[in-house]
Amino acid sequence: MRSSGFQPRIVCDKIDCNFIDRIVSLLNRQEQAVLFTNKKDQQLRKCKTFTNCKRHLKVNLEICSQPMIYLELYDKYELASESPRYEQAEKVRHQYEFARDNLALSGIAMDGQVGDQKMNSQTFAQLILTSGIDLFFQMLFLGAIAMGMMMVFRNFDSKSLLDNYKFDTKKAKDISQRLDDVKGIDEIKEEVENLIKMIREPEKYTSKGAKLHKGVLLYGRPGTGKTLLARAIAGEAGTSFIYCTGSHFDEMFVGVGAKRVRELFQEAKSNKPCIIFIDEIDTLLSKSRRFNSEHSSSRATINQLLAEMDGFEKNDQIMVIGATNHEEILDPAAVRPGRFDKKIHVPLPDINGRENIFDLYLNRIAKAVDVESRKLAQMTPGFTGAEIENLVNTAITEALHKYKEMADMSDFEYARDRIMMGIERKKLSMTDKDRLNTAIHEAGHAIACYFTPGAKKLYKATIVARGGSLGATFMVPDESDMLSTNKEKVLANIDVAMGGHIAEKLYLGGEQITTGCGSDLKNATDIAYEAVRKYGMFGAEAGLMSTDSKEVSQEQNAIIDDKVKKILDESYERVTKLLQKKDKELRELSKGLFHYDYLDHDEIEKVINGKKIEKEKVRSWDYKTYGDYAIRF
């Protein structure tokens, strides 16, 4: 049944078109009712539509000013299907009343009566209230748009777009670094000195037909001193120095990166002779910026830099020094001769280089007499200059925390452990049984490391939780390991990684093996795969090739998998025999780790040789609580 009782007819005399738009907007927004013109009038044409109805309102705005226009108010359910809607009768009544109240704001009469166009004070107040609410929501919408625009531009510096960007420029007199301040670069010192001569005396080279280098690329591990070396080159050559990073040329607006490159070289031209140092240059000159992996504005930035370095315009007395940790990802067009003419690899410092670096930083702190730079250099193979500086600073701060006047050797050992092993979790709740399980695991690693030929030098073992592990056994590599490794050392590393898992199986049983073995097995598997797939150390069986798993056939991958499994199985057998043979040593070492928490190399050697350790025990085994378990104390 249709709600035909709620179809009022509105007789309007010269209705204002704006009023019709406002009332219709109100009705449509509330989805309560729909305003229609008299359906019998065939001259009306559609000029406004509503998405919340099945039909459209047809209003000819041109005839709005004509007298006696008939309008009818229909509820939206009457425009739906013919199916009866008895349950909607009450809802339709409320819809009708809502429309009637809103139309009454202008005094329009309903049910065939002509309304009085005069408004009383109550009607005027209602009109003002309705208009005020509409204005409030409009202002709220505009405010939301303004807030969004402010969030977009909040971190944007307008000077980066409108004005010239201010780069960090140092005059020659303000650069205090010299080549003597850069330690651990003895291998490349001659190369750097020749570069400084070329910058300092350009006429000497150009008069003989030589061309000056336009760019120098410094690459190597993080913390090896590339930035300090660039400053020292500028200080020795007596030139101005401009520092920036690859990220300085990235901006949310298109074209800003290329603009900053032009500004950079313009700044350098006004400070000739000048060295431009771009740190982390791989951010700017990576392959992905040119080969369609990034936006075209990124390619414009790199093209602008290449044009400035080797374009039609000559930039004499301007040298670009770039530093990167990822030389392999640089664009070939950027590192070709004519742009970056010289590449200098900044290596890790050897033991002599580390000794020199320690001498430099130890002279700046208060230290005890027993602190020797040579001994510290031997303790820190593989450390970079930045890591050595951090170690020295950690040692002196630890000494001051303990109210000491100077740092002694114990503070440096603490600093090395802190850097290599992480923070101690002293308050971690563990039972003695769990601690003994950890001690057996770490003793397995230590015994395998001590008795396996080619293994790294044993440094320290602990059952104190550090970082994400419950214990750790640390080894230090030889100086030769910094250069290359051989098959014997690879297999020894696999055996050491297997030691903890096999020790748990032998003394705790196969059903009690812990999840702590997971990382060890993954490490052993990764080493085996690298030896087979990357280094071709087992080429007779797996092929003499160095490829990725995606670059070979499934059959070849299956052969490699079989070989890796065989390597791990053979390692398992070797280490099992070794730990069974060294049963007494492993048991005593497990007890020592349980009693003392920490054992260094000398203490581990004493335990293995059956000697007593002059050290206070941290804990003892509680027989009343745990009885005999795994190892008898």
Helices assigned H by DSSP within 484-553 = 487-508, 517-529, 539-542
How many angstroms separate the CA atoms of 47 and 171, rounded? Answer: 72
Identity of the residue numbered 590: S
- Note whether 283 and 312 are within 8 A (CB): no
What is the number of other CB atoms lying within 10 angstroms of the CB of residue 346? 24
CA-CA-CA-CA torsion sign (392, 396, 402, 405): positive
Residue 391 in tokens = 């170690």
Strand 240-245 with 168-170, pairing:
antiparallel
Q: DSSP for 376-431, please give it.
A: HHHH-TT--HHHHHHHHHHHHHHHHHTT-SSB-HHHHHHHHHHHHH--B-TT----
Active-site pick, 78, 267, 389, 442: 442
Q: What does residue 517 show for φ and ψ, rounded to 5 degrees?
A: -80, -15
Could you confirm whether 442 is annotated as catalytic? yes
Number of H helices, E strands in the chain: 22, 12
Q: What does residue 384 show for φ and ψ, rounded to 5 degrees?
A: -90, 175
- Note whether 19 and 105 are within 8 A (CB): no
- Note whether 235 and 321 are within 8 A (CB): no
Residues 6+ apart with CB under 8 A from 25: none
- Note whether 179 and 236 are within 8 A (CB): yes
Cα three-residue angle 45-71-83, rounded to 5 degrees: 90
How many angstroms separate the CA atoms of 572 and 121, rounded? Answer: 97
Residue positions annotated with a catalytic role: 442
